[in-house]
Structure 1
């Protein structure tokens, strides 16, 4: 019989501090993406990039390094624990971003951005693993919602910080600010974060054990289905981020004020994540996320119809509110999907976080880059991407569950032995 999901062990750290620290680890990733959005044009001009769409590679290179790096950190953290692996990754992040300040070519900058992403991959893997070490079931989803609320708040602040730095300096100073933020989080982690992986849960770092853990992750129907679904829906987010500067400055002519419109969208995503942390323990992860996914797709279809009728772009008074509404709904999808994918895999949390994070971020980064590649001066390619990816995401959820809106498993978390037995049966 499944046991109630009441696991709640913060390992001596105050609950608020644990949640805030994990949120800051996740925020390092958001800061590494969103703070550079206002600087893409200047980076391209300084380093001789003539194709405007190629400037998006500053974002894509980071995402690919971030996604690919996660595959290594999971098994290593399951063997040696969370703290040491996390501190190593942050060190790589800080060194790469510091070196990027003296980039002399676009290729050099992209390489360092990829290395920065590889370092940041540890923060994502360990952040999710720490939450899974300490919590389960709806409680885990609630905690992840609070973490994501802070994560989503960064896009409100980061582009405006980047724009402010650009007013008084250059894009190179933005890298310095990011490096200082990373160093501050590293210091806090070193002083305060306890080791959350119990000695009895550590796994041997052998090829056989790693292969076994990967098999458990990839053959669990629920985990695998929600992982692919999350990759699709994050492709939507990354596609929007890649094009945001071009959409707001070229299509809608907002100039430097585009960061304010971008921030409005991020604020609603953050508020939605906060609301999810309150609602998920009442209504369950499946009801909230499945309903939000269907609503997201329907709103994107409406937006596409209006944009098509208006010659490729809806009026700005329509575009900003409906885009904000869409990403407000997004706040009920990503967090719950991550929790649903991780919930059956607590016995291999580190490896699970790595495999799921790799597939979600790397896949989402690729799909987001493809959407960005088709940018043609209108919003049509972006909205077509929204509809296609969210539809595929819905199909993945249906295949994983066999139906939608089924909350029967939201209240339970299996023991490690039961999880292993369930994975073997599937």
Structure 2
């Protein structure tokens, strides 16, 4: 009998691109929509400008919740059936969103589309199924590098579609991406999880993972710190387009600025491995957190003084996101350090907490938009302070320690 890794399938290069495409479904669904938010809000009678931010948050909530479902079920049923089902949901509800006539309908459709986008969590699983050791690290790094290019270019694509046509075609493009990826997975990706490695469905295992994540100081602290930082990011994403359209009067510049800021996250991710190799994950991420707080404080001061300009916003947000890029992956690794025995499910639990919690924090910041950058910048600073508090909890009040602090397991 052939094992899944022995079945003819994509070439190594094709597999890396396919994995990166699966990782990218959420970036496409969110970032392509940003330039069209104003047009969509008007078309579906969203009312006041801040309400249209829910078109982003609704998707993020659906995506965050569904990851745990996909991660758990795929360990039992295999990766491919869940991936095909998720992509079908993603494409169908993206297409349906193009015909939404009411704001409430659009929100429901975006939540459901997000539930399809939760399959992105399976990208890591299919890589882990096919590779191990150094080969897995190499494939993961290459796939992640390709994925980082998506937020840089997709907003410009959404803007170009909007210039040439209507907002409905932005949803059509998202649906087409989902449909093409569905066909690619169906035709070229064999099942990667061997039958002998499949696990029985176990609510007890999920409960145990929740308990471990929430009861271990290090895991809980770094998970909540990541949640605060992602919340700040989502706050910028949900209200950034309004800032450039309503305040700077330069909506056409927003995709370029967004791409520039995203490039700084990508640069940080590329440099992170070298920094961690020299200084360790703790020292690297803790130094980045100090840098984040410094930049966020400066930006808040600039915004409160009324000196905010497009170029100032771009420079400061780029610096902020560079620090963000040096923190998030390391915080995730530190949160998982003591959870190897439930790694798969614990990772899904942490992702649920981070993305749903981050989406709620992001909409809280976005809804405070008042025609200035002040709420956004103060929100970033507040989230940085929350992250610092959570890291101090995780580290027993001490930063920059090169090794883990011995932990007591609660209960």
1:12-91 counterparts in 2 under 5 A?
Answer: 16-91=13-88
**Alignment partner, residue 180 of structure 2:** 184
Q: In structure 1, how many angstroms separate the alpha carbons of the residues matched to 2:404 and 2:198?
A: 27
Matches within 5 A, 1:24-423: 24-123=21-120, 125-130=121-126, 146-193=142-189, 195-197=191-193, 201-309=197-305, 311=306, 313-402=307-396, 403-408=398-403
Between stretches 364-373 and 394-403, larger displacement belongs to 394-403
Query: How big is the shift at 1:199?
Result: 5.0
Change (3 A) 1:113 1:157: same
The answer on whether the counterparts of 1:138 and 1:281 sit within 8 Å (CA) in structure 2 is no
Structure 1 pair 19–283 and aligned structure 2 pair: CA distance change class (3 A): farther
Q: Is the 8 A contact 2:79 2:122 kept in 1?
A: yes
Instruction: In structure 2, list runs of 5 or more residues that go unmatched.
Output: none
- Deviation per residue, 1:78-118 (Å, 9 max, x gap): 22232322222112111111221222222111111100001
- Once the two structures are TM-superposed, the CA of residue 216 in structure 1 deviates from its matched residue by 3.2
What is the CA RMSD across the aligned residues, in angstroms?
Answer: 2.9
- CA drift of 1:197 comes to 4.4
Report if aligned partners of 1:136, 1:343 keep a CA contact under 8 Å in 2.
Answer: no
- C-alpha distance in 2, partners of 1:423/1:201? 31
* CA displacement at 1:208 relative to structure 2: 2.8
CA, structure 1 residues 213+80, in 2 after alignment: closer, same or farther (shift >3 Å)? farther
TM-score by length of 1: 0.85
What displacement does 1:139 show?
A: 9.0
- Report the secondary structure of 2:372's partner residue: coil
Structure number with the bigger relative contact order (C-alpha 8 A, sep ≥ 6) is 1
In the alignment, is the contact (CA less than 8 A) between 1:133 and 1:349 conserved in 2? no
Structure 1 residues 389 and 144: CA distance shift in structure 2, 3 A: farther
Name the CA distance, whole Å, in 2 between partners of 1:185 and 1:243.
30
Give the unaligned 5+ runs of structure 1: 1-9, 411-421
The answer (yes or no) to whether the contact 1:141–1:277 under 8 Å persists in 2 is no
C-alpha contact (below 8 Å) 1:235/1:367 kept by paired residues: yes
Q: Distance in 2 between matches of 1:299 and 1:120?
A: 32
Contact 1:74–1:355 (CA under 8 A) maintained in structure 2? no
Relative to structure 1, the CA distance from residue 353 to residue 192 in structure 2 (aligned partners, 3 Å threshold; closer, same or farther) is: farther
Inter-partner Cα distance in structure 2 for 1:31 and 1:243: 18
**CA deviation profile, 1:202-230 (whole Å, cap 9, x unmatched):** 43213333323333333343332221111
Contact 2:216 2:410 in 1 (8 A): no
